[in-house]
Amino acid sequence: GSLNNYYVIILTPTEWQYEWYEAFIKIIGKEEIIFSDYETNGGKKEYSRVGGCYYTAKMAVLDSLFKEKKQAGLLVLREAYEGYVPLGVFNVRENMKEAMKKSYKEFETLKDAMLYCGSKLKIPVKKYVKQGTLLNEMLHTKQTTLDQYFK
């Protein structure tokens, strides 16, 4: 984390789709507020309701994927903690760039990845799932495997 922010980046083995979560924890009082927005591989039709951080995170990760000649789906969960000061999109951009340079963990399933993330985040993962759209769909849609075609 950086400057009272913590970020989780999850790349999924799917075509492009993206969901951004922004959680504010005890910034003003004792609140926990989660905002989210998403797009599918068709892109967005209107400006993101969560603002510029949505785009700066997306571009930083897409830049990294482009350099690696890879495609993936993207989930970003950001928690801002007590003492957080809004410093603009540069903070998100630089944190995303740095995160994409680091080593990563691989998981067999999205559920396993989310269980791991739950151990790193202060807000329970189920609250993110409830707030979001893509993450909720991905966790509740049965994944098709090749084995199913050979039964």
Q: How many residues are there in the chain?
A: 151
For residue 120, report the phi and psi dihedrals to the nearest 5 degrees: -105, -20
* pLDDT tens track, the chain, 151 positions: 677 889 999 999 999 999 999 999 987 778 889 999 999 999 899 999 999 999 999 999 999 999 999 999 999 999 998 887 778 898 899 999 999 999 999 999 999 999 999 999 999 999 999 999 999 999 988 655 555 445 5
This model's pTM is above 0.95: no
Q: Is 76 exposed, middle or buried (0-12, 13-18, 19+ CB in 10 A)?
A: buried
